[in-house]
Amino acid sequence: MDDIEVRFQSPDYALYDLLTNNECREKSITKLTSSYSKEDYDKFFHQILKILKTIECRLEWEINQIPFILKELASRNSNLFYEVVRHYLEQGDYLEINHWVVVPNLLSTLGTARAFSVLNTPEYPSKNKWLFSYYQHLPIDDIQLKDISALYDLYEESKYKYFIGDIDYLLKYESIQKGFVTDIVQIIIRRARVFPEFAHSLFSMFQPSTEINKTLNLVSLGKFNLLEEAYIALDRVKQHFIDYNGKTLSIILDNDPTFIDKYLEDKFTREVCLMHCDDNRDYSFIWLRNDYMDIMQRVTSIVFENVRDNHRYCDYYESFYNKSVNPQTDDSILNKQNNYLLKEIECKSDKNDYMQFLFSLITSFPLQRKLIFYTAFLEKNKKLDDFKNLPFESTSIDFSSSVVPMSQEKIDFYEKVTELCNSVTLLEHRKFIESKIRGMKVLIQYQEKKDFTEE
């Protein structure tokens, strides 16, 4: 008999075949384990462990049927269920089984006291993971003050990998001890200052579908600064996934408009050269606020100062202009953006660095919209050198377009700008723009010749 035949006739392969047979797996497992003792289950679990060490990761979920096995055992023999789970944990939770299924069965089958005894008495590496699950699933009517105290200790002492991401369950403890949620948030923030990954456990606070998000004003009552700290802490580790539409950020700004300063300063502290792509949040909500002028003054000031002081190109300011949520409000948002920028140009057209900063944004706008602001600038400032210092072309590169069409678009724009320079005072301005047009035409001729020879 060769090695392959031996392998396929081994007990391990027979069990593997049973566990991966989706059609009759549960019935077969139930039949197989119906007369098992504690020792039999122990042997069975170690056999599964042996199989798991030899298979591909993608098959692990099929093989590791321990939660179902224990659920079936709980419904049949609660005392044996108690002994089997305890013995398994005493050996170190070596299969890392899904506690989400097992713990509710422990509570419903054994009651809170015996369930806690199973999880808390043995010493094993993942003990805190199981205890977190216990407190998450503990019925509200069974919660005692000692449970609240123990949960405080878990958050103070446990490793992050055992934390629970969905913290809605904390609200049932809040109903018993007011201020409990803010205490836990405070603990997490304090630990996140040393180990930033702890902030991940605050994610559900800022998810619109969660209960804790719907009660943010209540749980933060009197300690609103905690919500601000939590927001920044989570933004540091999960900035692409937190509060996309800015709902929570808007709530914070309602209570403290200066928070936008802290929020942006923290971003620039972490990343000197912030780019548009570094922040996927839709900031359209700012333009729908009654105090949008004040908020945008703060935003503009913070971003401009950081760009100027670090002497590096940064298109991050575009994040506050080039995204939109609701087409029904787009015109309103665009009008407010235009009014804000026009006011800035009107008041500060002689501030060269600031105008370069604003027009770096404006160059990303469509042609007709761009012309509004070049017109406004020329009405307030006719100095040739200041005009020359303005950006006229976006620094963003569109790799999907060829050189000729892009260059023609630039010519179309420059020709429109020449029409703005239609007075004697602006004659030199016109010559300056016409020289740019000639340069673009030379570039087009060169590219067309190159394309032709390559064909």
**pLDDT tens-digit readout, 201-253:** 999 888 888 898 888 665 555 678 888 999 999 999 876 667 888 888 998 99
Are 216 and 257 found together in one domain? no
Label residue 22 by pLDDT band (50, 70, 90). Answer: low
C-alpha span between 102 and 118 (Å, rounded): 12
Domain count, the chain: 4
Pick the more confident residue, 409 or 170.
170
Express as a percent the part of the chain with pLDDT over 70. Answer: 84
Are 253 and 379 found together in one domain? yes
- Over residues 316-340, the mean pLDDT reads 79
State the DSSP code for 210. S
Query: What confidence score (pLDDT) does residue 399 get?
Result: 43
Give the residue among 35, 41, 110, 98 at the shortest CA–CA distance from 65.
98
State the DSSP code for 57. G
Are 193 and 323 found together in one domain? no
**For the segment 112-127, what is each residue's pLDDT rounded down to a tens digit?**
999 999 999 989 999 9
Q: Is pLDDT of 24 > 90?
A: no
Query: Domain boundary at 120, 142, 164, which?
Result: 142
Structure tokens at 359: 């027009």
**For the segment 381-435, what is each residue's pLDDT rounded down to a tens digit?**
999 999 999 999 987 655 445 666 777 889 999 999 999 999 999 999 999 999 9
Mean pLDDT lowest among 6-20, 70-84, 299-313: 6-20
* Rg (the chain; Cα; Å): 32
Mean pLDDT lowest among 92-101, 350-359, 378-387: 92-101
Are 273 and 340 found together in one domain? yes
- Over residues 322-336, the mean pLDDT reads 69
C-alpha span between 58 and 208 (Å, rounded): 32
**For the segment 37-84, what is each residue's pLDDT rounded down to a tens digit?**
999 999 988 888 888 777 655 455 555 678 888 888 999 999 999 999
State the DSSP code for 126. T
Are 137 and 157 found together in one domain? no
Express as a percent the part of the chain with pLDDT over 90. Answer: 56
Q: Is pLDDT of 2 > 50?
A: no
Are 271 and 363 found together in one domain? yes
Give the residue among 294, 291, 205, 302 at the shortest CA–CA distance from 263.
302
Are 257 and 363 found together in one domain? yes
Q: What is the secondary structure of 263-314 as a DSSP string?
A: HHHHHHHH-SS--GGG----THHHHTSTTHHHHHHHHHHHHHHHHHHHT---
C-alpha span between 276 and 309 (Å, rounded): 18
Label residue 294 by pLDDT band (50, 70, 90). Answer: very high
Torsion of CA 178, 181, 182, 188, to 10 degrees: 150
Q: Are 352 and 389 in contact (CB under 8 A)?
A: yes
Q: Is pLDDT of 3 > 60?
A: no
Q: Which domain holds residue 225?
A: 143-238
Are 361 and 453 found together in one domain? no
Give the residue among 161, 153, 152 at the shortest CA–CA distance from 179.
152
- Over residues 15-23, the mean pLDDT reads 66
Torsion of CA 268, 271, 277, 281, to 10 degrees: -50
C-alpha span between 359 and 340 (Å, rounded): 13
Give the residue among 122, 42, 127, 48 at the shortest CA–CA distance from 80.
42
Q: What is the mean pLDDT of the chain?
A: 86
Long-range contacts of 138-145 (CB under 8 A, 24+ apart): 138/107, 138/112, 139/107, 139/112, 140/172, 140/175, 140/176, 142/112, 143/172, 143/173, 143/176, 145/177
- Over residues 131-142, the mean pLDDT reads 97
pTM: 0.80
C-alpha span between 373 and 320 (Å, rounded): 17
Residue 339, CB-side half-sphere exposure with 13 Å CA sphere: 9
Query: What confidence score (pLDDT) does residue 440 get?
Result: 85
Q: Is pLDDT of 377 > 70?
A: yes
Give me the count of residues in the chain: 455
Are 199 and 232 found together in one domain? yes
Query: Domain boundary at 124, 142, 160, which?
Result: 142
Query: What confidence score (pLDDT) does residue 369 get?
Result: 94
Residue whose tokens read 């699950």: 133
Query: What confidence score (pLDDT) does residue 387 get?
Result: 97
Are 132 and 151 found together in one domain? no
